[in-house]
């Protein structure tokens, strides 16, 4: 870890610079959080970010995604096929040559604010109270994006030039399955490794769980409720399907031996999130649909997970004649996140782990994520091993009163700046 030690010579100066720039950085984050960049409404924040990157002297690439290469790609998932109003932005801080390149990937799309009455403040207030900034997207993941941007800016302000390229990616569509990052890959962006500062509470996730959405149609036969025995209740049949899903989840998790998942009660859950069926209280329901999310283990092929679900459904049909005559229909729809898997011995892991204690004051906690990120696409499709580590906590992501602790953003920025120094190599100053 010689290089790590060398990088640490810069730690005090980086920390000082971050302190000096803190007010300016917090105000920048406030402008970002005040942009309600829900799906389809990202143009305005992307303009702010592109302008900032230009100001920092990066080579800026801004484009609206389109074309069959993207739309027909097997990993393309999105509820839409038109992306006007949602440009992608990439800024490259070109290195002097000879160093390793690094992608800093983050998304600017945020999930909708939901029921406004459940928010104590305006959902896009960007207000700072007691060291926290509040608003939809603060933790997921505009705070993390700021850490990435500050890492570059801090090195620049300290007069450092790196040998390797740093590619700052501000993408759309992460919340609906990753079309934004997919588009950067198809546009040719790749690197020797990547960092994705999704909210991990500063834990390091070399592995990320993938997930896929599914829908099950469970059939019944209608009848008047007063003679319900003349029908077959899809609601009652649904109980068997729920038990089948629970059993499948158990089997899949029982055989998972990855130590990174050892602490999680259910490492790769199958969540049944939505149920609906029947039309009339006094009629027997003839159709119930179940919608859910199937976790996919790092290193597992998504197609294999799909086959396993299908096999479980087929087993149920063998046990229950009704299902064999009225098969449960299975549909894979909506969002999908590719699992990610970077080996523990990867050099970027070593760099992060070696720098971590000096920055955070504790050993790094290494885990596997319980959710998907765009890192899976980078690792799997762009040959760019992606590690997820960032400020922010998932407990407030997607909920009302979302916030992020500002200190954590600057801690992460410090870790990233040192990582850049170490990974992409300082050119000449040490």
Distance CA 207, CA 381 (A): 15
CB-based burial label for 408 (10 Å; 0-12, 13-18, 19+): buried
**Residue tagged 């906690």 (tokens):** 365
174 is catalytic: yes
Nearer to its own copies, 143 or 210 (CB): 210
Residue 30's closest CA among 411, 409, 298?
409
Q: Phi, psi (5° rounding) for residue 373?
A: -140, 175
Pairing of strands 210-219, 287-296: antiparallel
Q: State the residue for tokens 């999704």.
A: 198
* Residue 291 bears catalytic tag: no
Q: Does 390 bind its own copies (CB under 8 A)?
A: no
228 vs 315, which CB is nearer to its own copies? 228
If the CB atoms of residues 62 and 236 are measured against its own copies, the closer one turns out to be: 236
Shortest CA distance to 151 belongs to which of 86, 91, 97, 192? 91
Residue 238 makes contact with its own copies by CB under 8 A: yes
CA distance 249 to 267: 10
Q: Which of residues 241-300 bind its own copies (CB under 8 A)?
A: 242-243, 246, 264-266, 269, 271-285, 288, 290-293, 295
Stretch 171-210: interaction string toward its own copies, x if CB under 8 A: --------------------------------------x-
Q: How many chain residues interact with its own copies (CB under 8 A)?
A: 53
Quickly list DSSP for 82-100: --TT--EEEEEE---SSSP
Q: Give the interface segment with its own copies, choosing from 99-107, 160-168, 323-331, 390-398 (CB under 8 A).
A: 390-398
Only one of the segments 97-105, 194-202, 213-221, 422-430 lies at the binding site for its own copies (rule: CB under 8 A); that segment is 213-221
Minimum CB–partner distance for residue 376 and its own copies (Å): 13
Rule CB under 8 A: choose which of 101, 147, 369, 411 binds its own copies: 369
Write the CB contacts of 65 (distance below 8 Å, at least 6 apart in sequence).
Answer: 83, 86, 88, 172, 179, 180, 183
Least CB distance from residue 340 to its own copies, whole Å? 13
The verdict on 335 binding its own copies (CB under 8 A) reads: yes
Structure letter (DSSP) for residue 141: I
Locus of tokens 């959710």: 371
Q: How far is the CB of 246 from its own copies (least distance, A)?
A: 8
Does residue 357 interact with its own copies by CB under 8 A? no
- Count of Cβ atoms closer than 10 Å to residue 275 Cβ: 15
Cα radius of gyration rounded to whole Å, the chain:
24
Strand ranges, E, within 254-385: 270-277, 287-296, 329-337, 340-341, 366-369
- Options 227-235, 304-312, 379-387, 420-428: segment touching its own copies (CB under 8 A): 227-235
In the bound state with its own copies, the residue whose beta carbon lies nearer, of 107 and 293, is 293
The one among 20, 80, 224, 263 contacting its own copies by CB under 8 A? 224
In whole angstroms, give the CA distance from residue 134 to residue 31. Answer: 12
Q: What's the closest the beta carbon of residue 225 comes to its own copies, in angstroms?
A: 3
Question: Are 30 and 123 in contact, with CB atoms under 8 Å apart?
Answer: no
Nearer to its own copies, 134 or 371 (CB): 371
Interface residues with its own copies (CB under 8 A) are: 209, 211, 213-215, 224-229, 233, 235-236, 238-239, 242-243, 246, 264-266, 269, 271-285, 288, 290-293, 295, 334-335, 369-372, 394, 397-398
Catalytic residue list: 109, 174
């Amino acid at each position: 870890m010689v290089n790590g030690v060398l990088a640490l010579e810069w730690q005090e100066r980086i920390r000082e610079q971050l302190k000096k720039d803190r007010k300016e950085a917090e105000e920048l984050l406030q402008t970002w959080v005040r942009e309600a960049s829900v799906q389809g409404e990202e143009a305005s924040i992307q303009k702010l970010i592109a302008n900032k990157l230009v100001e920092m002297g990066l080579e800026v690439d801004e484009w609206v995604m389109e074309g069959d290469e993207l739309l027909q790609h097997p990993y393309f998932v999105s509820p839409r096929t038109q992306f006007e109003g949602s440009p992608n932005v990439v800024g490259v801080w070109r290195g002097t040559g000879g160093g390793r390149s690094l992608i800093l990937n983050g998304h600017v799309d945020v999930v909708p604010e939901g029921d406004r009455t459940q928010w104590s403040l305006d959902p896009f207030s960007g207000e700072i109270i007691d060291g926290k900034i509040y608003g939809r997207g603060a933790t997921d993941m505009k705070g993390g994006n700021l850490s990435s941007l500050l890492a570059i800016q801090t090195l620049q302000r300290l007069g450092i030039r790196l040998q390797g390229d740093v590619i700052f990616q501000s993408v759309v569509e992460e919340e609906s399955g990753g079309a934004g990052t997919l588009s950067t890959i198809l546009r040719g962006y790749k690197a020797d490794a990547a960092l994705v500062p999704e909210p991990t509470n500063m834990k390091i996730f070399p592995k990320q769980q993938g997930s896929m959405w599914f829908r099950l149609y469970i059939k019944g036969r209608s009848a008047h409720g007063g003679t319900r025995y003349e029908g077959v209740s899809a609601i009652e049949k649904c109980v068997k399907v729920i038990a089948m899903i629970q059993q499948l989840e158990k089997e899949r998790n029982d055989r998972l031996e990855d130590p990174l998942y050892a602490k999680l009660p259910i490492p790769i859950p199958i969540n049944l999130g939505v149920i609906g069926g029947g039309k009339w209280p006094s009629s027997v329901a003839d159709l119930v649909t179940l919608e859910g999310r199937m976790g996919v283990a790092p290193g597992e092929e998504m197609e294999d997970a799909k086959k396993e679900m299908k096999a479980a459904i087929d087993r149920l049909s063998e046990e229950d004649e009704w299902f064999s005559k009225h098969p449960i229909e299975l549909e894979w729809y909506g969002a999908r996140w590719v699992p990610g898997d970077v080996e523990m011995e990867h050099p970027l892991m070593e760099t992060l782990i070696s720098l971590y204690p000096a920055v955070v004051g504790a050993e790094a906690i290494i885990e596997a994520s319980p959710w998907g990120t765009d890192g899976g696409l980078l690792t799997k499709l762009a040959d760019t091993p992606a590690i997820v580590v960032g400020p922010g906590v998932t407990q407030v992501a997607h909920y009302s009163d979302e916030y992020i602790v500002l200190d954590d953003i600057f801690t992460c920025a410090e870790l990233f700046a040192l990582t850049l120094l170490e990974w992409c190599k300082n050119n000449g100053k040490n």
